[in-house]
Chain A
C-alpha cells in the first residue's frame, strides 16, 4: 500500500526535495485498492496490508483493513525519510520476509503521485520471486497465477506458480466499497508498527541511491491563447497557430 497526496490537492516538495505530506490531503494510492481487491480474491488464509512511510501512511493501511484485509504492518522509521525506489523496496521486502512464507505479494501498477512504477519489479528482484506485473486480468487456479497484460503494442499472457509478485491495473477488478459495519470493524484490527531494527535492517541497508539536487515550482501557465469557432474559422486558426509555431 502506498499513501499518496490526494490527486486534486496542491502538491509540493520540501527544501530537502521530499514530498510534502500531511494527514489531511493523504489517501491510499487509488490503484492500490485494486491490489487489495486482487489479494482478497486470491482466496488465501490471510491478507496483510503492508506500507512503508511516515506516520500518516497508516491511513493507507487502515483503508485496506476497511476493505477486508486482516491486519496491517507499517514500517515507520526516521531513517526512511526521503527513501528512494531502492530503499523503499528494500524495506518492503524485509517487511514481507518478516511475515514468514507468503503466497503472493500484490501491489498496484504504479503510485499515481510519482508514476515510477518500478517498486513491484524491485520487490520481485529483492524477494527473488517471479513477477506478474501490470496485469489487467488475473486468474488463479491450483496454485498457479495467470495474467494478461498489455505492453508495447502487444498483449502478453504470463504464468507462474505461487509465490509471486503481482501488480494490477485499475481495470483488473472493481474494488469493493466498505460498508459502515466494516469501517467500524477495521478500527479494532491490529496494525503493527515496525522499525528498521525490528526488520534486522541497518540504516546503511536503506541508504538511498539517488539524491535530489533541485526541486522548483514551475511558473503557472499563462493561460491559453483562446479562439472560438463561432465564425467557423477555429480550425483554420488552429492550423495557422501550428504553422506559426513551427510545429508543422
Chain B
C-alpha cells in the first residue's frame, strides 16, 4: 500500500487530525514530527488511523529553518517510500513544503481541500480567484507534496484504532550557510481561543468597530471562535497583525465566517472566500461582503453581535 506522510509540528490538533483523515484516502499514514511526542499523542493518532509516528533525528541540526525541515522531511519521505507528503497550509508550512518538494523533485499542490489518487498520482482540489472558481490538479511525479487547508473535512476516527509504532528516523538536514534564528517570541494566546488559521468559526470585525471590539469578543466567546480583522484595523493598532485575515494576512477557511463592519475589499475576500458559510453585519446593505454572504444583518454591529451572543448563550444554556 502507498505511504502518506503527514507532518505535524507538535501534539495533534484538530487540523492535524483533519489532514490525517484526508491522508487515509491516499495511503497508509505515517505521522512525522520534529521532536518526539508523548503516549497520549500516539494514542490519539492511532484512533485516527495513523500506523506509525516517527520523529526526525538530525544529529543536532536544529529544525527551525524551513530549508532544514523541508530537507529532513524529504529524506524521511525517501526512506519511507512515501508517495504523498502532507502539511498544513500556513506561511511557515508552505515554506517547508516548497523545500521538501525541491529535494524530492516532486509536484507541489498548495491549499487543497481534498485529496485523491488520480491515475496513480496525488491529486487535490482548491478554490481560486476569490472563491469564484474550483480547480483540481494532479502531480505528474511519483511523489507529491501538498498543503492541506484546515476545516475542509471533518476529522473522523477509524472503526478500529491502530496500534501505533513509534520511533525515531535518522535524516539528513542542513541549515543554509550563515542563516541564524536570532530570536523567537511566542505571542500570548488569545484567552484559550483556537488559532485563527485553523479555527472552525471566525468572528472578524473591521473599521466599523471604530476600535471597540468588546461585542466582537463577546460573540467569539459564545461561539468558541477565533477573532479576525482587516488590515486597516491592524494599521490602527486595534489588533495585532496575527489577527489580520486576507491576502497579506492569514488565510482562513472556517465552517462559519462572520464579518462585522467589514466592507469586503478584494484583499480581504481573497483570504476568506473559501469559508463555507458567510455571514455579514453592516450598516450598508450594498457592501461587497454583504453581497457575497449567505446571511446578512443590516444594522449596527455592536447591538447585533451582543444580541446574537446573548441568544446563543441562552440556546446553549437551555440545550
Q: A interface vs B, CB < 8 Å?
A: 7-8, 11-13, 17, 31, 84-86, 109-110, 112-118, 121-122, 124-126, 128-134, 136, 146, 150-161, 169-171, 207-218, 221, 223-230, 232-243, 245, 247-248
Q: Among residues 87 to 106 in chain B, which have CB atoms less than 8 Å away from a CB atom of chain A?
A: 90-92, 94-95, 97-99, 101-103, 105-106
A–B pairs, 27, beta carbons within 8 Å: A11-B130, A12-B129, A115-B251, A121-B102, A131-B176, A146-B182, A152-B9, A153-B195, A158-B182, A159-B179, A209-B107, A216-B133, A216-B134, A218-B134, A221-B292, A225-B294, A225-B296, A226-B296, A229-B298, A235-B297, A235-B303, A235-B306, A236-B311, A238-B279, A241-B279, A247-B277, A248-B315
Check: B34 CB closer than 8 A to any chain A CB.
no
> Which of chain B's residues have a CB closer than 8 A to the CB of A210?
107-109, 137-140
> Which of chain A's residues have a CB closer than 8 A to the CB of B168?
none
Q: Are B101 and A228 in contact (CB under 8 A)?
A: no
> Which of chain A's residues have a CB closer than 8 A to the CB of B159?
none
Main secondary structure on A side of the interface with B: mixed
Check: B267 CB closer than 8 A to any chain A CB.
yes
User: How distant is A83 from chain B, measured CB to nearest CB, in Å?
Assistant: 13
Q: Are B105 and A242 in contact (CB under 8 A)?
A: no
> Which of chain A's residues have a CB closer than 8 A to the CB of B128?
13, 114, 215
Q: Are A229 and B300 in contact (CB under 8 A)?
A: yes
Q: Which of A7, A238, A248 contacts B281 (CB 8 A)?
A: A238
Q: Which of B138, B139, B179, B298 contacts A158 (CB 8 A)?
A: B179
Known A-B contacts A115-B251, A209-B106; the reply to A239 vs B315 at CB < 8 A is yes
Q: Given contacts A11-B133, A116-B111, A218-B127, could you give 13 more A-B pairs where the C-beta distance is less than 8 Å? A: A84-B108, A125-B67, A125-B103, A136-B241, A151-B92, A154-B185, A212-B136, A226-B285, A227-B298, A234-B304, A238-B304, A241-B295, A243-B312
> Which of chain A's residues have a CB closer than 8 A to the CB of B298?
226-229, 234
Q: Are B299 and A230 in contact (CB under 8 A)?
A: yes
In the docked arrangement, what's the CA distance between A83 and B186, Å?
Answer: 38
Q: Are B108 and A86 in contact (CB under 8 A)?
A: yes
Q: Among residues 154 to 204 in chain B, which have CB atoms less than 8 Å away from a CB atom of chain A?
A: 176-187, 189, 195, 197, 201
Q: Which of B127, B178, B281 contacts A161 (CB 8 A)?
A: B178
Q: Which residue of B lies closest to A31 (CB)?
A: B248
User: How distant is B219 from chain A, measured CB to nearest CB, in Å?
Assistant: 9
> Which of chain B's residues have a CB closer than 8 A to the CB of A31?
248
Q: Among residues 247 to 298 in chain B, which have CB atoms less than 8 Å away from a CB atom of chain A?
A: 247-248, 251, 255-256, 266-267, 270-271, 277, 279-281, 285, 290-298
Chain B count of residues within 8 A CB distance of the other chain:
98
In the docked arrangement, what's the CA distance between A158 and B128, Å?
Answer: 32
Q: Which of B94, B137, B315, B316 contacts A211 (CB 8 A)?
A: B137
Check: B305 CB closer than 8 A to any chain A CB.
yes
Known A-B contacts A169-B248, A243-B315; the reply to A125 vs B133 at CB < 8 A is no
Give the top 3 A-B pairs by smallest Cβ distance, nearest first: A235-B307, A229-B299, A239-B311
Q: Are A134 and B91 in contact (CB under 8 A)?
A: yes
Q: Are B290 and A224 in contact (CB under 8 A)?
A: yes
User: How distant is B65 from chain A, measured CB to nearest CB, in Å?
Assistant: 8
In the docked arrangement, what's the CA distance between A218 and B132, Å?
Answer: 5
> Which of chain B's residues have a CB closer than 8 A to the CB of A241?
279, 295
In the docked arrangement, what's the CA distance between A115 and B110, Å?
Answer: 9
Q: Are A113 and B129 in contact (CB under 8 A)?
A: yes
Q: Are B293 and A242 in contact (CB under 8 A)?
A: no
In the docked arrangement, what's the CA distance between A156 and B91, Å?
Answer: 13
Check: B141 CB closer than 8 A to any chain A CB.
yes
Known A-B contacts A155-B187, A224-B290, A224-B293; the reply to A84 vs B304 at CB < 8 A is no
Q: Which of A86, A132, A218, A240 contacts B107 (CB 8 A)?
A: A86
Q: Are A160 and B94 in contact (CB under 8 A)?
A: no
In the docked arrangement, what's the CA distance between A171 and B251, Å?
Answer: 17
In the docked arrangement, what's the CA distance between A153 and B196, Å?
Answer: 9
Q: Are A12 and B107 in contact (CB under 8 A)?
A: no
User: How distant is B291 from chain A, measured CB to nearest CB, in Å?
Assistant: 7
Check: B32 CB closer than 8 A to any chain A CB.
no
